[in-house]
Every structure is written in structure tokens, then in C-alpha cells.
Chain A
Amino acid sequence: MIEIRDTVIEYGSGTRTVLAVDRISLSVEPGHSLALIGPSGCGKTTLLFAIAGLVRPRGGEITISGEPVVGPRREIALILQNAGLLPWKTVWQNANLSLRLSKEYPQKSAASVLEELGLASVKGRFPPELSEGMKRRVGIARALSMSPSVMLMDEPLASLDTLTKERIQDLFLQLWLQRRFSLLLVTHDIEEAAFLGQRIAVLSERPAQIKTVVENPGVGDLQYRSTEAFVGVVARLREELER
């Protein structure tokens, strides 16, 4: 369970502080998914970083499984915009990085996850040698290697072409259905939010506040994109964002 209560986040220091997030309250039940959608620069990434324990909120409280977040935690995985791969590490080293940092490697490894994501044959390659879609999958492999109970994603599929994007969205959905982690997705892509978020919180311009939360019970079906319900949710989100 992720619980965010009256969270206020500022960045900058001294007199030049900027209010990024203004009293947001949200919660995600275990195994459920929530998408945060809002205009670029509205503070949604800052909120996600606070949940990941990378940014300290100025007010309010964030708890995961009942414990306040004070720093990065083993059970929380974060997937960054460009997958956050280190170009000087091979696919294998990148996928095992989280395990290595927590000193669980080599007792545990990402071997089976790499296999599952079809990356076993490129283990020895470096990120610049991979296609964009493959890079994202390596990022996913790194996150999954820790078997997290909470998955945080920050615009994970920005700058991908539509087909690759949809293919990886399908992959996210399947992984989420199989593993039932709590998923919190930050995006500015309306269709992505509608495809993956059981609930979708629409945020305002900075400082981020919740405009509305759209319920989206149809999530979980790979064919969801071609249903009327999906089209309805997309239209509703567009309306809310423009309002």
C-alpha cells in the first residue's frame, strides 16, 4: 500500500524555492495501478522521486507498507525516462546493478529475467549498441531483478515510436498481471495512462494539485485499446487536461 498524505514538495534553496507539489493525497492498494498524468513540468516526476525516497517532502507524509519513506528501499523499483542505463556497463552488468548494489549478486542474478524479456542473446552488448526498445527492456529487467512490491515509472516510454511503445506497454501489463506489484506510472501520454492505470489522477499545472481522479476498471486486458470504454476514458482524460 502506497499512501501519500498532504504532501508538499519544494525544490531549490534559500529565497529561490519553487513549490512543485501542493498538498497531494493519494493511495495505491497493493497490486493495483495508478497513473499520474499532467502537463510537462507540473511536478509529477518530483512527486514520484519523493515516493522513491530520492527527494524529501517539506510537508505531509508518504508511507509504503505502513512505513514512512526516508530513503530508497529495496522493495521499491524506479524505472527512469531513458531506462537509466549506464553506457559503460554491459546489458548483463546493467541488469544486475541493483542486485550488486545491495550485495545480493552473484548469489542472485537477473539471468532468468533477461531470458524472459528476450535479452539473453545480447547480454554482452553495451547500451549504445541496442535499439531503444531493447534499452527499455534492460531497464525493466533491472527493476524486476529485485522482485519489487512497488514499481515506480517515470515516463518510461517517452520518445519511442508508437509500435514499440505499444509493444512495451503490453509487456508492462503482462508483467504487472503476473507479478502483481503496485504500479505507479507518471506519464504525459494519455493513451498510456488509460491502458495501464486502474485509476488515473489528473494533475494541474505547477504546483501540482489533483484536478480529478478517473476510474478506469477495464485495465488488465491486452485488447483494451480497441474497446469503447478505452476510447471513452481517453476522451474524458483529454477533456480534464484541457480544462
Chain B
Amino acid sequence: MSERIRMKRFGKILRERPYVWHVLRYLAAIAILLLIWWGASEIVEHVKGRAFLPNPLRAIGEMKRLGPTLFRNFWVSALRLWSAMWIAFWLGYPLGLLIGHERKLDQLISPMIYIIYPIPQVAFILILFLIFGLGNPVKVAIVASALFFQILVSARGAAKQIELEHVTSVLAAGASRWQVYWHVVLPATLPSILTSLRVSVGLGMAFLYIAETTGAFDPRRGGLGSFIDSNIYSGAQAFAGIMAMALLGLLLYILIELLERVACRWKHVSRRPS
């Protein structure tokens, strides 16, 4: 009996606080992934006769043991990725809106973008190193340059999707060009830009890894990428770094999601069926 009451109360908590449900789902996902990993490492060990893929418990053990070092590198990477994302956001978003909304500018600039867009930014990595030197700026620049195009292209697309009715309604009320941007173009596109920023966490992570592992001559490279790179042959330690990277990605993802919920509250109101 008391068991049933407890289940009922639990159900009520879930209904009233949807984020509890969210957290539980993520915890379950983590548990399942660890289980799959554990299974895979067992299979690899069985087939190959050696534990090339360290088992998750050992990796977690290493995470604990290397705590302070890992945390320092985690922090270095987090700051790089976070600043690169915002640099890309503040450069790519306004420019994307401008070319998405102003047709003449679009005709001029878009061809240039589509020519540059498919070139992997990694191709310019040496030049970036030569321009920015060693240390943090170059790594931030590599990641930011990759994300910039991502944000730019999606901002342009979002600006083209704006409903004419919304623009007409503020124009009729006497809005200036700047007011059209502030009251319509910006808020209308913000949700999709934040979504694209969130999705680009993965891409940013990949470029961060490349940036942090390139230039072995860089004494100040630091970060999770270089941590993984320098422990690549001692399985469990490398995997401790990989797990830290996954954690970093997840945290950024959640952070941007929360930001979106606050900045675009109107997207999350309960819609009235029409």
C-alpha cells in the first residue's frame, strides 16, 4: 500500500516539476551509455586479449585520481570554447541578419560566403598560428572561425523566414529601419540562432580538439585536447579526458538551453488550440 502511495507522490512530483523528469532522463541516458561502454570494453578485451578500450570504472577511477589536473584542463577548454562561441555569435548573428534581411547586401555577400563556407577551416590552421601566435588566441580563433559560418548561415536563413505581416505591422506603426531590427528581426530569429548555437557545441568541440592538439611545440597549449593527446597511449587516462569533454559539451548544451528558455519565454508558453 505505502509503495503505491509513494509511486503516486513521485508521479505528482514529475508532473509539477518537469525538469526533475528531464534530469532523470539524462541520468538514465548516462547509465545506459556507461553500460554499453562497459559491454564494448569487455568484448574488445575478449576478442583482442587486451583491454584496449578501458572499462568505464577504471576511467572514472582515473578521473578521481587526476581530479585537480583534469579540472584545470577542463576549465581551460571550457573558457576557450565559451569565448569562441560568443565571438562567433556576436560576429555571425548581426551579419547574418543583415544579409538575410537586406536583399542587395545578400546578393553581394552571399556568393562569397558560399565559396568560403565549404573550405574546412582546418586548412587555414597554419596561417592562424602564424597570425595569432601560440597560446589561447589562436585556439579561440580556430573554433570561432568554424562556428562563425555556422551561425552566419543559420542567421541568414532565419532572417529570410520572417513573416512579412510582422514587419508590415511595425512599419505601419511608423517604425524606423533600426526599430524593425530591434522589434521584429532580432526577436523573431533568436530562438533558431540559439538552437544553432547549441547544435554547434559539437562542432566547436571537434575544432577545439584539433586546435588543442595541433602545435605540439606550443608549451602553453593545455586544455582537455592536449590532455587526451598526451595520455593517448595510457587508455584509462585518455578516457578520463574524453569523459571530461563529454561533460563539458553537456554542460554547455544545458547552459544554452536554459538561456533560450529565459530569452525566448514566448516560445515555451502553453499554446491555446485554435
* B contact residues around A88 at 8 Å (CB): 187-188, 264, 266
Residue-by-residue, is A104-127 near B (CB-CB < 8 Å gives 1, otherwise 0)?
000000000000000000000110
Please provide the chain B residues from 152 to 168 with a CB less than 8 Å away from any CB of chain A in the complex: 165-166, 168
A85 contact set on B, CB distance < 8 A:
169
- Which residues from A are CB-within-8-Å of B270? 129
For the complex, give the distance between the alpha carbons of A76 and B170 in Å: 13
Whether B165 pairs with A82 at a CB distance below 8 angstroms is yes
B46 within 8 A of A: no
Q: What per-residue 1/0 map shows which CB atoms of A49-79 lie under 8 Å from chain B?
A: 1001110000000000000000111100110
Q: In B136-183, which residues have CB < 8 Å from any A CB?
A: 165-166, 168-175, 179, 183
Q: Name the distance in Å between B173's Cβ and chain A's nearest Cβ.
A: 4
* Given A72-B173, A98-B173, A126-B266, A86 contacting B272 (CB threshold 8 A): no
| CB-based contact A101/B175 at 8 Å | yes
Residues of B within 8 A of A73 (CB): 174
- Would you call B2 an interface residue if the criterion is a C-beta within 8 Å of the partner chain's C-beta atoms? no
> Chain A contacts of B98 at CB under 8 A?
none
Report B85 CB to chain A, min CB distance, Å.
23
Q: Does A25 sit within 8 A of B, measured CB to CB?
A: no
Residue from A54, A71, A86 within 8 A of B166 (CB atoms): A86
What 1/0 mask marks residues of chain A from 131 to 161 whose CB sits below 8 Å from any chain B CB?
A: 1100000000010000000000000000000
**Do A97 and B168 touch (CB < 8 A)?**
no
Q: Which residues of B contact A82 (CB under 8 A)?
A: 165
Q: How far is the CA of A11 from the CA of B168 in the complex (A)?
A: 16
Cβ-based interface call for A218 (8 A)? no
- The reply to whether the CB of A41 lies closer than 8 angstroms to some CB of chain B is no
B272 surroundings in chain A (CB, below 8 A): 128-131
Chain A residues with CB under 8 Å of B172's CB are 52-54, 72, 77-78, 80, 84
Chain B nearest CB from A108 CB (Å) reads 14
Residue among B169, B173, B174, B269 having the largest count of chain A Cβ atoms under 10 Å: B173
Contact A101 B266 (CB under 8 A): no
A selection of 18 A-B contacts at a CB cut-off of 8 Å is A49-B168, A52-B172, A72-B172, A72-B173, A73-B174, A80-B172, A84-B172, A86-B187, A88-B264, A97-B170, A97-B183, A98-B174, A101-B179, A101-B183, A102-B174, A129-B269, A129-B271, A129-B272
Tell me the B residues contacting A by CB distance below 8 Å. 165-166, 168-175, 179, 183-184, 187-188, 264-266, 269-272, 274
B-binding residues in A (CB < 8 A): 49, 52-54, 71-74, 77-78, 80-82, 84-89, 97-98, 101-102, 125-126, 128-132, 142
Top-7 shortest CB links A-B: A84-B169, A78-B172, A88-B187, A98-B173, A126-B266, A72-B174, A88-B266
